Amino acid sequence: MYILNINYIKSLESIDSLLEEHIKFLEKHYSEGIFIASGRKIPRSGGIIFVKNITFEKLEKIINEDPFKREGAAEYEIIQFTPTMMAEGYEILKDATS
């Protein structure tokens, strides 16, 4: 699975102008079963997206669809890892690596 660490590099006004389109981007990939969880960082300097295990090439294509990336409003850090232990109730995370 992947953790996408998103850092805003433009003003919050720029981010807010893209937010509606960004939410549609998120909803699309949730409906496809690719995104697991997402949310804003606190303080609001970016966001985090948990992504199931897909090919790196497919992940790059998805990231490039994000209006934050397309408009140069945010940078993405891609972290790949394999969850091997998790708290009770979060076993679905283990399935995200298959």
Q: Which domains does the chain have, with CATH numbers?
A: 2-95 (3.30.70.1060)
Q: Of 82 and 15, which is predicted with more confidence?
A: 15
Residues 6+ apart with CB under 8 A from 75: 6, 7, 9
Give the whole-angstrom CA distance, residue 33 versus residue 43. Answer: 28
Question: Could you tell me the pTM of the whole model?
Answer: 0.91
21-40 pLDDT per residue, tens: 999 999 999 999 999 999 99
Q: Report the chain's mean pLDDT, rounded to a whole number.
A: 93
54-80 pLDDT per residue, tens: 999 999 999 999 999 999 999 999 999
Please, which pLDDT band fits residue 96 given cuts at 50, 70 and 90?
low
Give the whole-angstrom CA distance, residue 88 versus residue 76. Answer: 30
pLDDT of residue 17: 98
